[in-house]
Amino acid sequence: MSSISVVATKPYDGQKPGTSGLRKKVKVFTQQNYTENFVQCILDANDTALQGSLIVVGGDGRYYCKEAAELIIRMCAANGVAKLLVGQNGILSTPAVSSLIRHNKALGGIVLTASHNPGGPENDFGIKFNCENGGPAPDAVTNNIYQLSTAIKEYKIANSLDIDISKIGINKYDINGKTFVVEVIDSVGNYVTHMKEIFDFEKLREFVSGKATGNPLKMRIDSLNGVTGSYVREIFLNALGAAESCVVHTTPLPDFGGLHPDPNLTYAKDLVHAVAQGDYDIGAAFDGDGDRNMIIGHRAFFVTPSDSLAVIANNLECIPYFRKNGIQGFARSMPTASAVDLVGKKLGKEVFEVPTGWKYFGNLMDAGRLCLCGEESFGTGSNHIREKDGIWAVLAWLSVMQNTGKGIEDILKDHWATYGRNYFTRYDYEECELDPCNEMIATMEKNITDPSFVGKSFTSGGKTYQVKIADNFSYTDPVDNSVATKQGLRIVFEDGSRIVIRLSGTGSSGATVRLYIDSYEKDNVLGQASDMLKPLIDIALEISQLPKFTGRNAPTVIT
């Protein structure tokens, strides 16, 4: 029998979950009682529902993941949880956690990841709570967790519990006369089964392995040493018959082998470089926890996430899941270019624009109004779970390629010929000083929300844009009427072009400024995004005075 200790503690400042959970340096999480405090607040936020509940626990395998998983097991035991499903060695991708919560009707899941942020003792760790629908906790829940963290006095823990999460199996403990179960599960099995229910694996296997044609698909999948490595091997090598040479960096490492596990043109440059040589038809990469994806075509033809969403929306019929369950509405985050809106319009579907962060899609999915959504930050997913899903997105793209018989570039060009093109770029200015950035946003908000701003014209590079709408985006959830304010400054021009600027909510220190630019062209669809958007970028830098406030003349990352 294990006993429960009640340990006195004091609040830490700043345990406020951001866009997707609490993310801090490992050194912050490993301070005395820091992780304990936050976990206790997550458990307390569930109130009486916690007693006798089932919770899923797992993370992306980054540094401190296993220790945190073991700590959570001890604390759940002491707080009245009846059963935990824990990934072997504490490893589960974020989409896999979401899938497990839903399939097992769990109360929720605790996800251990800082997602696309670098890992290792000097870098980031994170903890996120997902609710019973499998999605990231909505604002009301995270605000409650934060409030609890400001007043916490004690936490409960069963210190003497003998835990080994390296072996798959069921472990039972007696906690004050009650049974507490820890089931250690294979990290990949359930997720792979789920993907096989969604996609036509037989067709995909023929296509990928080249069994019928003798022509295997030339594919390069890069897991960037993140959690997807084990999932990729099982799905692409074992289930779809791809050759070993089609996958790289598939060993999940605590520090991602020094790679920055963010699948974009800057941090996945190895992949981009390899595919640019012309030997592959598709390249893909994922982030640390497996919810993001980047897709590139032959010679590294780049698919913007906004376009990726629109193309998948336009081809849903080739995926058995959608043939079976039907096609409901589509959605995108506000900064995401509106390519999917045009597909929604043509198909007669509802299209929603929500704030940044996957948590805003959940209610719409639960209400049966949304089946496909995405974010410009390399997030794509459907209502099969309540998280974005990187591997799902690649399987969706393979299905589109298989079904159309076309390469990625041709698929995009056909799409633009039908719908026109939304040129899009995002500039990230990482690790800026926080105070001047806050001041920049405050100043800009004041300027653009002055009534005289609407109607103003700005000229650059021979193009003139007239302001139609300027605000700090706010969103009312159509399902529960909850309101999210101050979600990003937005200037919409008469021709539909937009400038959006906001501060990141996933960094662990300082500030990251994100500047998003998009512009629609009906006919001129084959230009270079950087050329097409240059005038608007200059206007954005002028209005925001970004170089003055941040001291930066160039972004850290351009997407």
- Is residue 60 close enough to count as binding ligand VG1 by CB under 6 A? no
CB of 181 to ligand VG1, least distance (A): 29
Which does residue 228 touch among Co ion, ligand VG1, none (CB within 5 to 8 A, set by kind)?
none
Determine contact, residues 110/128, Cβ cutoff 8 Å: yes
Which residue has the CB atom at the shortest distance from ligand VG1?
A: 115
Nearest to Co ion of 233, 292 (CB atom): 292
375 binds, among ligand VG1, Co ion, none (CB under 5 to 8 A by kind): ligand VG1
292: contact with ligand VG1 by CB under 6 A = yes
Taking the complex as a whole, the smallest distance from the CB of residue 375 to ligand VG1 amounts, in Å, to 4
Concerning whether 230 is annotated as a catalytic residue, the answer is no
Binding test (CB under 6 A) with ligand VG1, winner from 142, 504, 544, 559:
504
What is the C-alpha to C-alpha distance for residues 143 and 508, in angstroms, rounded to an integer? 18
The beta strand positions in 42-177, using DSSP E, are 54-59, 83-91, 108-112, 124-130, 154-157, 169-175
- Distance of alpha carbon 188 from alpha carbon 236, whole angstroms: 13
Candidates 228-236, 305-313, 322-330, 499-507 — which segment interacts with ligand VG1 by CB under 6 A?
499-507
Residue 358's binding partner out of Co ion, ligand VG1, none, with CB under 5 to 8 Å set by partner kind: ligand VG1
DSSP annotation string for 516-539 = EEEEEESS--SS-HHHHHHHHHHH
CB of 161 to ligand VG1, least distance (A): 30
Q: Which of 93, 98, 99, 115 is catalytic?
A: 115
Kindly list the distances between the CA atom of residue 467 and the CA atoms of 389, 446, 449, 451, 492, in Å, as whole numbers in the listed order: 36, 15, 11, 11, 6
Q: DSSP E strands: which ranges in 444-540?
A: 457-460, 463-472, 475-476, 483-484, 489-493, 498-503, 511-521
Cβ-proximal residues to 373 (8 Å cutoff; 6+ apart), any chain: 309, 330, 331, 332, 352, 361, 380, 381, 382
CA-CA distance, 118 to 62, in Å (whole number)?
A: 9
Residue 241 or 290 having the CB closest to ligand VG1: 290
Closer Cβ to ligand VG1, 241 or 305, answer by number: 305
Q: Closer to ligand VG1 at the Cβ: 261 or 329?
A: 261
Answer for which of 200, 375, 389, 518 binds ligand VG1 (CB under 6 A) is: 375
| Segment lying near ligand VG1 (by CB under 6 A), choices 39-47, 212-220, 352-360, 547-555 | 352-360
Q: How many chain residues interact with ligand VG1 (CB under 6 A)?
A: 18
Identify the three-state secondary structure at position 183.
strand
Q: Determine phi and psi for 531, rounding to 5 degrees.
A: -70, -45
Residue placing its CB nearer to ligand VG1 in the complex, 118 or 329: 118
Query: Among residues 17 and 80, whose Cβ is nearest to ligand VG1?
Result: 17
Q: Does 116 bind ligand VG1 (CB under 6 A)?
A: yes
Nearer to Co ion, 22 or 529 (CB): 22
Residue 115 makes contact with Co ion by CB under 5 A: yes
Candidates 46-54, 138-146, 473-481, 498-506: pick the segment binding ligand VG1 (CB under 6 A).
498-506
Indicate the residue among 234 and 375 with the shorter CB distance to ligand VG1: 375
234 in contact with Co ion (CB under 5 A): no
Instruction: Confirm or reject binding of residue 118 to ligand VG1 (CB under 6 A).
Output: no
Does 223 interact with ligand VG1 (rule: CB under 6 A)? Answer: no
Scan for tokens 């075509």, then name that residue: 297
- Residue from 291, 341, 389, 518 touching Co ion (CB under 5 A): that is 291
Which residue from 314, 529, 304 is spatially nearest to 418, judged by alpha carbons? 314
Strands (E), 271-343: 282-286, 293-297, 329-333
Q: Decide if residue 20 touches ligand VG1 (CB under 6 A).
A: yes
3-state SS, residue 114: coil
289 near Co ion (CB under 5 A): yes
Note whether 355 and 484 are within 8 A (CB).
Answer: yes
Closer residue to ligand VG1 (CB): 208 or 511: 511
The Cα 27–Cα 10 span in angstroms is 18
Nearer to ligand VG1, 295 or 411 (CB): 295
Name which position in 60, 287, 341, 477 contacts Co ion (CB under 5 A). Answer: 287
CB atoms within 10 A of CB 212: 10
Residue 550 contact among ligand VG1, Co ion, none, beta carbon within 5 to 8 Å by kind:
none
Largest CA distance in the chain: 77
With contacts defined by CB under 5 A, how many residues of the chain interact with Co ion?
5
Spatial separation of the C-alpha atoms in residues 292 and 447, rounded to whole Å: 35
- Please state the closest distance from residue 114 (CB atom) to ligand VG1, in A: 8
Interface with ligand VG1 includes 287 (CB under 6 A)?
A: yes
- Are 423 and 518 contacting, i.e. CB atoms less than 8 angstroms apart? yes
Rule CB under 5 A: say whether 262 interacts with Co ion. Answer: no
Residue 11 burial (CB count, 10 A): 15
Look up residue 356 and give its DSSP letter: S
Question: Which region, judged by CB under 5 A, interacts with Co ion, from 59-67, 115-123, 161-169, 248-256?
Answer: 115-123
Q: Tell me: does residue 357 bind ligand VG1 (CB under 6 A).
A: yes
Q: Can you tell me which residue has the tokens 């304010």?
A: 485
CA distance 382 to 330: 9
We find the least distance from the C-beta atom of residue 512 to ligand VG1, in angstroms, to be 6
Rounded alpha-carbon distances, angstroms, from residue 252 to 17, 226, 499, 508: 25, 5, 37, 22
Residue 490 interaction partner, one of Co ion, ligand VG1, none, beta carbon < 5-8 Å per kind? none
Which residue type, as a one-letter code, is found at position 123?
A: N
Query: Which DSSP helix (H) or strand (E) runs through 191?
Result: helix 189-198
Binding status of residue 356 toward ligand VG1 by CB under 6 A:
yes
- Nearest-approach distance from CB 552 to ligand VG1, in angstroms: 17
**Residues 28/149, Cβ–Cβ less than 8 Å:** no
| Nearest distance from C-beta of residue 378 to ligand VG1, angstroms | 8
- Catalytic residue positions, numbered: 115
**Which residues of the chain form contacts with Co ion (CB under 5 A)?**
115, 287, 289, 291-292
**Which residues of the chain form contacts with ligand VG1 (CB under 6 A)?**
19-20, 115-116, 287, 291-292, 333, 356-358, 375, 377, 379, 504-506, 514
